[in-house]
């Protein structure tokens, strides 16, 4: 967080909550004119503090509201097997997030599908095709309590 002042942090907090504000609206919120706010935002983007702007879609409305966390254990720890797994997972659209983790499992997948039947199909026909997987364990989400879609800014 080098070279970030309070105004930069304030802009990041505001954009984190709602990136649809115009530069003029942002300027009013941080008590600056639009030109310096525009320059600050461009600097924050250039320096990687802002990676991209996205629309957060409603999974329920898009018939993808069944959320599952799937733990993956690879067949063995080998560079080629790990690389093959990553390459295969990147191609599966139901997997919306993938984390390389420590502990009893090697990877954690966040999977969105329509329902339990669709998840069963996903496990058999998509994960089943990934040859590097040794075992899986699924955790079904009953309710999402909090999602701030990113990192907290102090």
pLDDT in tens, 49-77: 999 999 999 999 999 999 999 999 999 98
**pTM, full prediction:** 0.87
CA pair distance 141, 118, nearest whole angstrom: 15
| Rg of the chain (C-alpha set) | 20
Domain boundaries, the chain: 6-46, 66-140
pLDDT value, residue 152: 78
- Tell me which residues of the chain have a pLDDT lower than 70: 1, 154
pLDDT value, residue 1: 61
Q: Which CATH architecture has domain 6-46?
A: Orthogonal Bundle (1.10)
- Top-tier CATH class for 66-140: alpha beta
CA pair distance 37, 24, nearest whole angstrom: 8
> Tokens 């089943």 correspond to what residue?
128
| Packing angle of the helix pair 23-30, 6-17 (nearest 10 deg) | 130
Do 6-46 and 66-140 agree at the fold level? Answer: no
Going edge to edge, which strands form the sheet with 66-74? Answer: 95-100, 107-113, 66-74, 133-140
pLDDT in tens, 140-150: 999 999 988 87
pLDDT value, residue 149: 80
Q: Which residues contact 53 (CB under 8 A, 6 or more apart)?
A: 19
pLDDT value, residue 97: 97
CA pair distance 114, 127, nearest whole angstrom: 16
pLDDT value, residue 100: 97
Residue 84 CB burial class (10 angstroms; 0-12, 13-18, ≥19): middle
Give φ, ψ of 138 to 5 degrees: -105, 140
- Report whether 88 contacts 129 (CB < 8 A): yes
- Report whether 63 contacts 114 (CB < 8 A): yes
pLDDT value, residue 150: 76
């Amino acid at each position: 967080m080098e070279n970030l002042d309070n105004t930069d942090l304030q802009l990041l907090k505001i954009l984190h909550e709602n990136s649809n504000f115009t530069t003029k609206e942002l300027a009013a919120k941080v008590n600056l004119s639009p030109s310096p706010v525009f320059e600050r935002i461009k600097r924050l983007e250039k320096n990687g503090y802002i990676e991209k702007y996205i629309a957060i879609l409603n999974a329920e409305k898009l018939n993808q509201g069944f959320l599952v966390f799937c733990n993956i254990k690879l067949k063995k720890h080998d560079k080629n097997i790990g690389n093959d797994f990553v390459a295969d997972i990147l191609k599966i659209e139901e997997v919306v997030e993938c984390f390389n983790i420590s502990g009893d499992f090697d990877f954690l997948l966040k999977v969105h599908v329509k329902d339990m039947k669709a998840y069963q199909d996903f496990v058999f026909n998509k994960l089943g095709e990934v040859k590097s997987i040794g075992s899986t364990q699924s955790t079904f989400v009953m309710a999402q309590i909090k999602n701030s879609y990113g990192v907290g800014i102090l």
